[in-house]
Amino acid sequence: MNNSSLVKLIASWENETSMVGNVSQLLRQNLTAKVDEGVPRSTLKLWFAVFISVCMFGVLNNILLLTIISSSKKLRSGTGILILHLLVACLLMCAIHYPILGILIYGNNYWFVNPKPTITSHVSK
């Protein structure tokens, strides 16, 4: 190993350690930043309406595909069974999980009372 490669190795190591310092400084700033006050109610209502509409479209689309695949004997064999299982999983996500997620996001901004934060950061400055 010659001196030039050793110098390059040390220089790259110093560059990496300075990047770690920058990342830790950025994390420290984000941990101590003030929490956003929330989005405007009209924007959130529009987002919620679009979100629920997309969920309903997904439910209808998955039900349609389930009826098409289950009515054809040729599609009920082989990979058709795997596709049916995937459609059932997507149907459950669109019918149950996504609407609950939308309600929780909307409710977190306007319905539920957020407690004061009790966890403090122990990152040294």
Question: Could you tell me what percent of the chain has a pLDDT over 90?
Answer: 29
pLDDT at residue 33 tops 50: no
pLDDT higher at 24 or 40 = 40
Q: Which of 16-20, 47-51, 104-108 has the highest average model confidence (pLDDT)? A: 47-51
Question: Is residue 102 within 8 Å of residue 48, measured between CB atoms?
Answer: yes
pLDDT in tens, 63-115: 999 999 989 888 888 888 899 999 999 999 999 999 998 888 877 776 666 66
> Within 13 Å and on the Cβ side, how many CA atoms surround 44?
14
- Report the SS3 class of residue 125: coil
pLDDT of 59 higher than 50 = yes
pTM of the model: 0.56
Burial (Cβ within 10 Å: 0-12, 13-18, ≥19) of residue 33: exposed
- Rounded to 10°, the helix 41-71/98-110 angle is 170
Query: Measured between alpha carbons, how far is 25 from 30 in angstroms, rounded to an integer?
Result: 9
> What is the distance between the alpha carbons of residues 72 and 41, in angstroms, rounded to a whole number?
47
The mean of the pLDDT values for the chain is 75
